[in-house]
Amino acid sequence: MKLAVVKEIEVGERRVALIPDAVSRLTKQGIEVWVEAGAGERSWFADSLYESAGAKIVADAAMIWGEADVVLKVGPLQEREDGCHEVDLMHAGQTLISFLDPLGNPSLIQRLSDRQVTAFALELIPRTSRAQSMDALSSQASLAGYKSVLIAAAVLPKFFPMLTTAAGTIPPAKVFVIGAGVAGLQAIATARRLGAVVEAFDIRPAVKEEVQSLGARFVEVQLEEDTVASGGYAREVSEVAKQRTQAAIAEHVSQADVVITTAQVPGKRAPLLVTEEMVARMKPGSVVVDLAAEQGGNCACTAPGKDVVHHGVTIVGPINLPASMPVHASQMYAKNLLSLVQLMVKDGALNLNFADDIIDGACVTHAGQIHNQRVRDALEAEARGRSEVRG
């Protein structure tokens, strides 16, 4: 079985799907690993390190895409500089494992299905204890949560920790984290380590204890509806609940030096939680880091990929933060892929057991069919949207 690591072509993407250590574990199991020349260079893993780990370095992209049995990637397939789409380099019978944004970009999944590729989207790995080592959403969200606080600390014109010095006493910065999932909890822990006083809010009341165990105060909002969907994710809430949430958090936003927003609902636009009026009430010099920028943003003032200043408040809308820490991001991602590949391989050959909830849950296309109901629904919604625009 030939397993290939291709070079990422997305602008700003610095991660690589496997690091040399993961390659050597696979080659020891009798798997042939091909790595596209330069695939690891932006994450500081040179071709020579992959070669020492037992990989074959392949300079010809068309050859590596064309001859691999399994292709490993970080980001969704896209059009290359020469105008050829990566999906058109794949053929029937190949397997692809990557982040694929299956609910946000279902037409890519349709194209993979049309080409009879068996594709696994890491976004759909079930959030179960057994799948924890394969959970790339979590590993990468944790990097984003950490980095968001470092960005805020660098932009804030103040210290984070309380300091008692001969030049006077400095009070600690106040940080408010909205959304206490994987990224939010890491942001809380990082802000606490830097000495800030931290408050946090999430519509899932179950996270209260986790927030408190990290030394932060949990902001409670009473909502008269179920806020938790299957898999432990948040549900999209009603307009009434949105307004009640905004009213309840407004005071905490205005008191904060730093607001980190991480709230997301899978497959939906990120909920708008921090309004322009709330930003206007913040102290000039304060900072908002909106980790939901790519999904539409939790803050009304967010511009994805940009820093903007409104009423003296800097709003940072970072894109692909894990790529800004490519060494550890790639190391963690590679460990996630290694665990998943090991689940799929028996005696050095691919052996997909669709009775396994992880294989079944993460598979988006197989045998020329869309394998996942949520992706089928997303495709239908996309087609409905197109016909409404035409109508």
**What is the spatial distance between Cα 302 and Cα 157, in angstroms, rounded to a whole number?**
20
- The answer to whether 368 and 360 have CB atoms below 8 angstroms apart is no
Query: Considering only 27-35, 92-100, 229-237, 351-359, which stretch makes contact with ligand NAD by CB under 6 A?
Result: 229-237
29: left (phi over 0), alpha (psi -120 to 50) or beta: alpha
Residue with the CB atom nearest ligand NAD in the bound state: 181
Query: Going by C-beta distance under 8 Å and a sequence separation of 6 or more, which residues neighbour residue 228?
Result: 204, 206, 234, 235
Q: Which of 90, 263, 288, 334 binds ligand NAD (CB under 6 A)?
A: 263
Phi, psi dihedral angles at 212 (to 5 degrees): -65, -35
Nearest to 176 by CA among 158, 191, 166: 191
| Smallest separation, CB 379 to ligand NAD (Å) | 21
Among 33, 198, 273, 345, binds ligand NAD (CB under 6 A): 273
Out of 127, 217, 281, 311, name the contact with ligand NAD by CB under 6 A: 127
- Of 76 and 271, which CB lies nearer to ligand NAD in the complex structure? 271
Binding span for ligand NAD by CB under 6 A among 148-156, 232-240, 309-317, 346-354: 232-240
Q: Dihedral (C-alpha) 136, 330, 264, 110: value to the nearest 10 degrees?
A: -70
Q: Which is nearer to ligand NAD, 54 or 104 (CB)?
A: 104
How many residues interact with ligand NAD (rule CB under 6 A)?
31
Alpha carbons 153 and 162: distance in angstroms, whole number: 14
Nearest approach, Cβ of residue 383 and ligand NAD (Å) = 25
> Applying CB under 6 A, which part among 75-83, 102-110, 200-208, 356-364 lies near ligand NAD?
200-208
As measured in angstroms, the least distance from the Cβ of 113 to ligand NAD is 26
Where residue 83 falls (left for φ over 0; alpha for ψ -120 to 50; beta otherwise) is left
Return the residues of window 170-189 that contact ligand NAD according to CB under 6 A: 178-184
- Residue 138 designated active-site: yes
For residue 286, give Cα distances in angstroms to 56, 289, 340, 359, 372: 50, 10, 42, 45, 43
What count of other Cβ atoms lies within 10 Å of the Cβ of residue 157? 10
Shortest Cβ 244–ligand NAD spacing (Å): 11
Q: Residues 78, 116, 132, 324: which is the catalytic one?
A: 132
Q: Confirm or reject binding of residue 262 to ligand NAD (CB under 6 A).
A: yes
- Active site annotation includes 114: no
Is 233 annotated as catalytic? Answer: yes
Closest separation in Å from C-beta 120 to ligand NAD: 17
Closest separation in Å from C-beta 339 to ligand NAD: 12
Residue closer to ligand NAD (CB basis): 77 or 200: 200
Cβ proximity of 92 and 68 under 8 Å: no
CA quadruple 380, 385, 386, 387: dihedral positive or negative? positive
Q: Name the one range near ligand NAD by CB under 6 A: 70-78, 96-104, 259-267, 349-357.
A: 259-267
Q: What contacts 24+ positions apart, CB below 8 Å, involve 306-312?
A: 307/155, 310/276, 310/279, 310/280, 311/279, 311/280, 311/282, 311/284, 312/283, 312/284, 312/285, 312/286
Residue of 42, 116, 127, 193 marked catalytic: 127
Considering only 47, 86, 123, 202, the residue that binds ligand NAD (CB under 6 A) is 202
Is 135 among the catalytic positions?
A: yes
Q: Verify binding: residue 218, ligand NAD, rule CB under 6 A.
A: no
Q: 95: number of CA atoms within 13 Å, CB side?
A: 18
127 is catalytic: yes
User: CB 93 → ligand NAD: shortest distance, Å?
Assistant: 31
Closest to 287 measured CA to CA, from 179, 173, 152? 152
Between 77 and 292, whose beta carbon lies closer to ligand NAD?
Answer: 292
Task: Report the half-sphere exposure of 34 (CA within 13 A, side-chain side).
Answer: 20
Catalytic annotation, pick one of 21, 42, 233, 255: 233
Among 26, 87, 188, 203, indicate the residue that binds ligand NAD (CB under 6 A). 203
Angle 185-123-289 from CA coordinates, rounded to 5°: 40
Give the integer Cα–Cα distance in Å for 140 and 134: 11
Chain contacts with ligand NAD (rule: CB under 6 A): 127-129, 132, 135, 137-138, 141, 178-184, 201-204, 232-234, 237, 245, 262-266, 271, 273
Catalytic residue positions? 127, 132, 135, 138, 233
